[in-house]
Amino acid sequence: MQTTAHFQPIPPDSTPQPNCLLAITPALVQKIFPATPIANIAANLPAVLAALATANLSDKSMLLVALAAIRAEVECFQPLSEQQSRFNTSPNGHPFDLYDHRKDLGNQGPPDGADFRGRGFVQLTGRANYTQFARETGHNLVTNPALACEPAIAAEMLARFLTHKESAIRRALAANDLTAARRLVNGGTNGLDRFASAFQIGISLIE
Length of the chain, please? 207
- Residue 203 has a CB neighbour count (10 Å cut-off) of 15
pLDDT of 3 above 60: no
Strand partners, 81: 119
Q: Give the SS3 label for residue 88.
A: coil
pLDDT of residue 207: 75
**135 has a pLDDT exceeding 70:** yes
Q: Residues 136, 141, 144, CA angle at the centre, nearest 5°?
A: 160
Within 74-189, residue ranges assigned H as helices are: 112-115, 127-137, 151-174, 178-186
Residue type, 103: K
Yes or no: say if 62 and 161 are a contact pair by the CB < 8 Å rule. Answer: no
4 has pLDDT over 60:
no
Angle between helices 151-174 and 178-186 (to 10 degrees): 140
Q: What local confidence, expressed as pLDDT, does residue 95 receive? A: 97
Task: Note the pLDDT tens digit of each residue in 76-128.
Answer: 999 999 999 999 999 999 999 999 999 999 999 999 999 999 999 999 999 99
Q: pLDDT tier at 5 (50, 70, 90 boundaries)?
A: very low
What number is the average pLDDT over the span 142-154? 97
Domains of the chain: 20-79+150-205 (no CATH), 97-146 (3.30.20)
Q: Are the C-beta atoms of residues 51 and 136 closer than 8 Å to each other?
A: no
Mean per-residue pLDDT, 10-37: 78
| Distance between CA atoms of residues 132 and 116, nearest Å | 12
